[in-house]
A = this chain, B = another copy of it.
Amino acid sequence: MHQLITDLYPICRSITGDGVRQTLAYLQRHLPLQIREVPSGTPAFDWTVPQEWNISDAWIKNSRGERVVDFRQSNLHVLNYSTPIRRKLSLTELRPHLFSLPEQPDRIPYRTSYYQANWGFCLPHRQLLELEEGEYEVCIDSTLEPGHLSYGELFLPGAADEEVLISCHICHPSLANDNLSGIAVAAMLAQHLGQQERRYGYRFLFIPGTIGAIVWLSRNQATAQRIKHGLVLTCVGDPSPFTYKKSRRGNATIDRAVACVLGQGGYAHQLEEFTPYGYDERQFCSPGFNLPVGCLMRAVHGRFAEYHTSADNLAFVQPAALTETLKLLTEVCGLLEADQRYVNTNPNCEPQLGKRGLYRPIGGQMDAKGYQMALLWMLNMSDGEHSLLDIAERSGLPWATLAAATTALREVGLLVPREEEHSA
């Protein structure tokens, strides 16, 4: 995953343009990704697909003709979505177009101006202070023209019509954690799940932030209703503890499943309530959709010093953190797959486990082993009303142990999924 991040890091992405296309093409080499192109001007609810932005070069030259700010050194130097410009102007005229971070004087900030035509440069505050009075020449060799918004979509069908959504944004230029880490982990999770039997279908979206989610939802309103669980992945490659932000519903199965896996797995983490500010969960959780989609993060946007600066670089994301995030996600998907409601076919008193080889023959001593408790819990709670996750929460037993007990009890016919019971 770190290699993928390293390969994609230099590309200048934005919400539209060739940077996104190169990124999707790279992913397509590893995944059977569908690439969608939506024309500029296409309406999407309250929004319209904007013009496509591309850029080949940009600089500020001083009076001696030296590039004092150079897009070739970092694509963060350009205000993302800057309109083209080439002119000479004084430092005083230039200043309103320069953005820096006084509190972090050595870092280039990342700034955008998608929906108000503007141009500008971002640079370290220390460098800004050193600019001499005099004439400067600025050049932004960009185009902002009718084109397309591009995004990638990958669907792994499951036995049921119901779907799990995994979404990540692909619109940031040279920022590693935000959100090349999300792209990398989503891609690996897709590879992993592609090799498994699946009860759910899994839909992966690689989309530009905000406008991408809005466009996808506007084109997929029926599909959206099949989403039973969803996660937005952002900033998942740094070594911070996990932060899971719950869906708007607050107690959706995905909220409880992530909390269960984080807690039972001993992952350092914190849970946060939904707020309508953040990443694309804002759109998935808008009141017209109210989908059960949470957001998985490690470092939280706006709360770490590297956020939206040139310090969110390849050194900030760590292979071990990426691997741990992937492990967590495969466990969450495992729990979602296992989380069914069962019916105990022998509901009156306990069944005799011993005669089925499921119980120790010598009684009289406390048996605290989790597996045998898991057998009893699954049998006791399986009245068709309690799911495996419900039982994991109530019993405190590891969900995987309950899943193993469930398999054993299904094999001897003591548990059947609720749906089969109903059709019988």
Interface residues of A (CB under 8 A from B): 44-47, 80, 109-116, 118, 210, 213-214, 217-218, 221, 248, 273, 275-277, 282-283, 285-290, 301-302, 307-308, 344, 346-352, 354-355, 361-366, 368, 373, 376-377, 379-383, 394-395
Query: Interface majority SS on A: helix, strand, loop or mixed?
Result: loop
Measured between beta carbons, the chain B residues less than 8 angstroms from A44 are 349
Q: A286-B379, A290-B383 are in contact. List 5 more A-B contacts (CB 8 A).
A: A44-B349, A46-B352, A282-B380, A286-B349, A302-B366
Measured between beta carbons, the chain B residues less than 8 angstroms from A354 are 115-116
How many copies of this chain does the complex contain? Answer: 3
Q: Is the CB of A288 within 8 A of B373?
A: no
Q: How far is the CB of A216 from chain B (nearest CB, A)?
A: 10
- Most chain B CB within a 10 A radius of its CB, from A114, A287, A344, A347: A287
Measured between beta carbons, the chain B residues less than 8 angstroms from A348 are 45, 217-218, 221, 286, 288-289
Q: Is the CB of B361 within 8 A of A288?
A: no
Q: Is the CB of A116 within 8 A of B361?
A: yes
Q: Smallest CB-CB separation from A362: which chain B residue? A: B113
Measured between beta carbons, the chain B residues less than 8 angstroms from A217 are 348-349
Q: How far is the CA of A323 from the CA of B113 in the complex (A)?
A: 49
Q: List 10 A-B contacts (CB under 8 A).
A: A46-B349, A47-B352, A111-B365, A112-B363, A275-B376, A276-B350, A276-B376, A287-B344, A287-B379, A287-B383
User: Out of B283, B308, B350, which one reaches A365, CB within 8 Å?
Assistant: B308
Q: How far is the CA of A352 from the CA of B115 in the complex (A)?
A: 9
